């Protein structure tokens, strides 16, 4: 599939003056919005590419030169961002199209040349029903304390889901919401709640300073972007322990692997204390996968695993029996939990995804096959 875009004329390497004209890279961003592309990729000596419905596609037959890419992207970068990129070889920032979508952009050097990866952040924050997310997320938004983690690979819908949850709180609760992001993705307008959004590198020098001062800023609900290191996790757990509702994202594939991912960031002698903190403060883990859909109006749909920390889950975490968590999720659907296999089965039943897609995404294709036949697998055996 090719989405034609006008060719860009190679400009000089120096950061150009626009003379009041819109940045030339805007044509790619507007093309993303028009075709509902999730990502844009620019690489020297290669045609520009969009990610459409989860697949990478060329949008132009003409390769872009390195000077062309640098000139286009430098137009929308500040002098400080250009300097940081030249010094570090990578820089993150956000860019807003006028009256349109927002974009999270990473500019990075590879093999001595400049590449760009841009993620589209839709202007509208959709609700749970529009995103086809399970209704239990509404109940989680009513919590006032604890840690809620969104897990999944890059591009699995974590940020979009958190945005829907924060917007639900914004709409229904008089409270103070604070986000710490690098960079800011979704923009919120105050409703019943009021929201402060701090961008690392723009509003505060680094995450460490932002986390240090966060507790002095009287938040009720906190989003700590990506939980990427020991210090960030420790701050999130501390905020949850002191009576705040904390949201964060993590790169993990399941609830059980999320626990393991957190623990491996800490020295072994600190892990029992971290487990204890999770037992008392973790409220839920929501794992996401985006799958190609069958309906033209819903190109990708989420499959979800939702773990809610009931007494059984807390006991398993305390005892280090993380591998048994999936079985408890499977047997506690009446509490709002759901495992990936059941979520995928429901998507097939609703004819939102193809059976072939379902089998390729299922953690256990044989178990999915039985469930599609109406055979339910439980922790105690098979019940027809």
Please write the tens of the pLDDT for every residue from 60-78: 889 999 999 999 999 999 9
Output the pLDDT for position 384.
Answer: 31
Rounded Cα–Cα distance for residues 82 and 63 (Å): 23
Q: How confident is the model at residue 382 (pLDDT cuts 50, 70, 90)?
A: very low
Contact assessment for residue 196 and residue 240, using Cβ atoms and an 8 Å cutoff: no
Nearest to 308 by CA among 338, 280, 288: 338
Tokens 């995804």 belong to residue: 353
Name which residue leads in pLDDT, 187 or 376: 187
CATH value of 26-121 in 3.30.450.90, 1.10.10.200, 3.30.930.10, 3.40.50.300: 3.30.450.90
Residue 66's pLDDT is what? 96
Query: How far is 232 from 243, CA to CA, in rounded Å?
Result: 17
Mean of all residue pLDDT scores within the chain:
89
Per-residue model confidence (pLDDT) at position 229:
86
202-229: per-residue pLDDT in tens? Answer: 898 888 788 888 888 999 999 998 888 8
**Range with lowest mean pLDDT among 43-47, 50-54, 340-344:** 50-54
The pLDDT score that the predictor gives to residue 12 is 36
The answer to whether the bond into 213 is cis (omega within 30° of 0) is: no
The per-residue pLDDT for 61 is 83
Q: Which CATH code of 3.30.1330.200, 3.30.365.10, 3.40.50.300, 3.40.50.620 fits the domain covering 128-383?
A: 3.40.50.300
Exposure string of 22-60, with b = 16+ CB inside 10 Å and e = fewer, is ebbbbebbebbeeeebbbbbbbbeebbbbbbbeeeebbb
- Looking at the predicted structure, is the pLDDT value of residue 274 above 70? yes
pLDDT score, position 30: 94
CA dihedral 298→343→280→314, nearest 10 degrees, is -170
Mean pLDDT, residues 285-305 taken together: 92
For residue range 98-141, list pLDDT tens digits in order.
888 999 999 999 999 999 999 999 888 999 999 999 999 999 99
Per-residue pLDDT tens over the stretch 132-168: 999 999 999 999 999 999 999 988 999 999 999 999 9
Every domain of the chain and the residues it spans: 26-121, 128-383
Q: How far apart are alpha carbons 381 and 284 in whole angstroms?
A: 26
Q: Is the pLDDT of residue 31 over 80?
A: yes
Q: What is the pTM of this model?
A: 0.83
């Amino acid at each position: 599939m090719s989405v034609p875009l006008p060719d860009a004329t190679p400009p000089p390497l120096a950061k150009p003056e626009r003379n009041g004209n819109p940045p030339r890279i805007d044509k790619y961003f507007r093309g993303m919005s028009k075709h509902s592309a999730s990502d844009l990729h620019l690489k020297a000596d290669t045609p520009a590419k969009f990610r459409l419905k989860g697949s990478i596609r060329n949008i132009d037959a003409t390769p872009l030169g390195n000077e062309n890419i640098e000139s286009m992207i430098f137009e929308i970068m500040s002098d400080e961002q250009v300097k940081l990129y030249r010094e570090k070889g990578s820089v993150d920032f956000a860019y807003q199209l006028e009256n349109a979508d927002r974009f999270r952009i990473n500019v990075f050097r590879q093999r001595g040349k400049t590449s760009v990866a841009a993620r589209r952040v839709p202007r509208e924050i959709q609700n749970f029903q529009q995103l086809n997310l399970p209704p239990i997320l509404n109940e989680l938004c009513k919590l006032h304390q604890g840690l809620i983690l969104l897990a999944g690979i890059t591009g699995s819908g974590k940020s979009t889901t958190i945005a829907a949850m924060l917007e639900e709180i914004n709409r229904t609760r008089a409270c103070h919401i604070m986000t710490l992001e690098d960079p800011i993705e979704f923009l919120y307008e105050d409703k019943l709640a009021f929201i402060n959004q701090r961008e690392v590198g723009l509003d505060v020098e680094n995450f460490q300073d932002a986390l240090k001062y966060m507790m002095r800023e009287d938040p009720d609900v906190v989003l700590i972007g990506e939980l990427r290191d020991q210090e960030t996790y420790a701050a999130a757990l501390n905020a949850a322990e002191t009576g705040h509702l904390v949201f964060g994202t993590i790169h993990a594939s399941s609830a059980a692997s999320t626990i393991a991912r957190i623990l491996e960031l800490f020295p072994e002698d600190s892990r029992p204390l971290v487990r204890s903190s999770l037992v008392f403060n973790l409220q839920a883990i929501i794992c996401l996968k985006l799958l190609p859909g069958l309906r033209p109006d819903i190109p990708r749909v989420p499959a979800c695993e939702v773990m809610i920390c009931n007494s059984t889950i807390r006991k398993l975490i305390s005892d280090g029996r993380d591998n048994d968590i999936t079985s408890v999720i499977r047997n506690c659907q009446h509490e709002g939990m759901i495992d990936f296999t059941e979520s995928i089965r429901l998507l097939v039943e609703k004819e939102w995804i193809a059976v072939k897609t379902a089998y390729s995404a299922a953690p256990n294709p044989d178990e999915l096959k039985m469930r599609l036949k109406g055979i339910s697998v439980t922790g105690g055996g098979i019940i027809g």
